[in-house]
Every structure is written in C-alpha cells, then in structure tokens.
C-alpha cells in the first residue's frame, strides 16, 4: 500500500511586548518586543512531529491547543538550535503530550545546556519574561539512529554550523520539498546578529547556501512575519542573505551602536521588530 502524503502547518506566536524600561530598549524609545516565532507541525494520517516550541508558557499552552486540534498523536518535538525561544516551551508541550519525545542533535543539546546553567533560564530571558517561563531543564534526547519519521516519511536533521548561533540545524522533509529552517532563515523579521562577530556572518552565509542546495519548494523561517505575504516561499532564502550582506557593509564602516541601529532600519524599514537590531548592536559593538 502506498504511503499517505505528509502535510504541514505553521503556527506563529505573538510579537510579545517586553517590560519597559527594558535592557533591550533602544534609545529611540520604541516599545520593546520579542520577535514572533514560528512552530511547524509535520503530520500524516496517524502521527505528527512538532518543530521549535516557542518561549513563554502562555505561548506554548496556546500552541498545545492548536496541535491538539489536528487529532494526531504527537510523537516527537524537534528543536533546530539552542536559543531558548525555540525550545523553552517543550516542558509545557510535554504536559499536554506526555508520549512525545523531545529530540535535538548533540550539538544543539550542548548549546541548550550552555544557555541554561543548572537548568535555569538565561538572565536575558528571565528579565524579559518575568514569571512567564516554563521549566527550562533540558530534556532533549539525541536523535535516534534511524532519524525521525512521520508515517514512514523521512525527516532529515541537517547540521549547517553557525547561523545566528552555533551548532544550528534545519529539518528537511524531502517528500514535502520542505525545509524548517529555524534561525538560519528569517521571514521579514530583523535578524539577530549578536553572535556574528569573528566570522559569524560568513559562516551564516554558508549555512544559507546549504539550505538553498536542498532546493526546497517551501521554507519555514524561525522568526516569521505572517503579514508579509510571502507564505513560506523560498524567496526568503535570498532575502536573508541580502540582509547579512547589508549588515556586513554597515559594520565595515565601524559604526556606533546607534548609527548601526539607524542604518539597518533605513535599509530595511519594512522588517518587523527593531528591538532585535538594538540587541544585536549591544552585543556586537562596543559602547
């Protein structure tokens, strides 16, 4: 009997408003926000796998309700990289779906532990989401020897190196022509460059090339502007690349933090969440 075709669906979290005053609030006075995060459900007739749970407990609870509506057993939760805004919600999902197994590559698991010393959330996330974070102890397991599957279809974890953080991966679903790209690819959201010094931009560009080499028909970005009208088009691959090339050009001029912030916003006025640009400036440039 032929295998049934897979399907996928994407749920995007809200662009959460952060406390004011905030350590990531720019001198221009904008209300600070955290970028919207995309979670992807890959499902067949009998089971489903979820990719990249969001950050806050309330976001994960809402996601759990959405997943439950598909009425498929959730067998696995996969995280593409170690930033907490793509896995902290795992514990909340497991309360609702206790038979699901959280997975990540060995490199991503190491980054998870690095970012949550003693199982505690990072100081940044704790300050930005006070009282809103779930249990952040790392529960992810290394991928099984046969990798992940949904109804017999392969889901391939592809290690791409550094993107906006180290040890990044994407999840390739060949039967769908789909790449769930985590933070390797952004969709009309300002890109986090705070870990891009010392060759990080060049490494990220190479990671983008890996995604492009997979020749996807659909690409889900880790941070996604639902109102941009791009769907999950592969055009966002080159848009992500062009953002990095522009940032490299601006950084070559040795800007101040504020000058960097202003120049990036002038180049990309339609991208959402300037807070990320200021956070990048704080972590990339001297005071």
Q: For each of the chain's 287 residues, which pLDDT tens digit applies?
A: 456 789 999 999 999 999 998 899 999 999 999 999 999 999 999 999 999 999 999 999 999 999 999 999 999 999 999 999 999 999 999 999 999 999 999 999 999 999 999 999 999 999 999 999 999 999 999 999 989 999 999 999 999 999 999 999 999 999 999 999 999 999 999 999 999 999 999 999 999 999 999 999 999 999 999 999 999 999 999 999 999 999 999 999 999 999 999 999 999 999 999 999 999 999 999 98
Q: What is the helix (H) or strand (E) element at residue 122, kind and residue range? A: none
- At 3 the pLDDT is 61
Spatial CA neighbour of 24 closest among 257, 221, 186: 257
Could you tell me the two tokens for 204?
A: 């990220």
pTM: 0.97
- At 4 the pLDDT is 73
Q: Is the dihedral of CA 121, 125, 126, 131 positive or negative?
A: negative
- At 262 the pLDDT is 98
Q: In what order do the strands lie in the sheet with 178-180?
A: 148-150, 153-161, 168-173, 178-180, 218-220
Could you tell me the two tokens for 203?
A: 């490494």
Q: How far is it, in rounded angstroms, from Cα 248 to Cα 258?
A: 16
Domains in the chain, ordered, with CATH? 7-284 (3.60.15.10)
The secondary structure of residue 30, as a DSSP letter, is P
State the residue for tokens 């990044």: 168
3-state secondary structure the chain: CCCCCCEEEEEECCCCECCCCCCCCCCCCCCCECCCEEEEEEECCCCEEEECCCCCHHHHHHHHHHHHCCCCCEEEEECCCCCHHHCCCHHHHHHHCCCCEEEECHHHHHHHHHHCHHHCCCHHHHHHCCCCCCCCCCCCEECCCCCEEECCEEEEEEEEECCCCCCEEEEEEHHHCEEECHHHCEECECCCCCCCCCCHHHHHHHHHHHHHHCCCCEEECCEECHHHCCCCCCHHHHHHHHHHHHHHHHHHCCCCHHHHHHHHHHHCCCCECCHHHHHHHHHHCCC
Q: How far is it, in rounded angstroms, from Cα 253 to Cα 232?
A: 34
Spatial CA neighbour of 83 closest among 192, 174, 186: 192
Q: How far is it, in rounded angstroms, from Cα 35 to Cα 192?
A: 10
Spatial CA neighbour of 61 closest among 20, 97, 105: 97
Strand-pair partners of 172: 156, 179
DSSP-derived 3-state class of residue 155? strand
- At 1 the pLDDT is 43
- At 287 the pLDDT is 81
The phi and psi torsions of 250 (rounded to 5 degrees) equal -65, -45
């Amino acid at each position: 009997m032929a295998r049934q075709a897979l399907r996928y669906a994407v749920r995007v979290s809200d662009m959460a408003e952060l406390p004011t005053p905030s350590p990531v609030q720019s001198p221009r006075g904008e209300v600070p926000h955290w970028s919207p995060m995309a979670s992807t459900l890959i499902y067949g007739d009998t089971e489903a796998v979820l990719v990249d749970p969001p950050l806050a407990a309330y976001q994960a609870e809402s996601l759990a309700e959405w997943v439950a509506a598909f009425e498929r057993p959730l067998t696995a939760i996969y995280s593409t990289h170690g930033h907490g805004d793509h896995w902290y919600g795992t514990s909340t999902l497991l309360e609702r779906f206790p038979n699901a197994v959280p997975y990540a590559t060995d490199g991503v698991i190491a980054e998870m532990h690095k970012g949550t010393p003693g199982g505690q959330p990072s100081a940044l996330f704790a300050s930005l989401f006070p009282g809103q974070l779930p249990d952040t102890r790392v529960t992810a397991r290394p991928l099984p020897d046969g990798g992940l599957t949904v109804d017999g279809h392969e889901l391939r974890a592809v290690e791409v190196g550094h993107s906006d953080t180290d040890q990044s991966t994407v999840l390739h679903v060949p039967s769908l022509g789909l790449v769930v790209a985590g933070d390797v690819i952004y969709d009309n959201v300002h890109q986090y460059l705070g870990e891009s010094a010392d060759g990080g931009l060049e490494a990220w560009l190479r990671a983008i090339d890996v995604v492009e080499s997979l020749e996807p028909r659909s690409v889900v970005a880790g941070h996604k502007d639902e109102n941009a009208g791009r769907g999950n088009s592969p055009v966002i691959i080159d848009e992500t690349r062009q953002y990095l090339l522009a940032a490299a050009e601006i950084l070559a001029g040795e800007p101040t933090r504020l000058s960097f912030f202003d120049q990036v916003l002038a180049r990309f006025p339609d991208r959402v969440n300037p807070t990320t640009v200021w956070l990048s400036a704080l972590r990339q440039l001297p005071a």
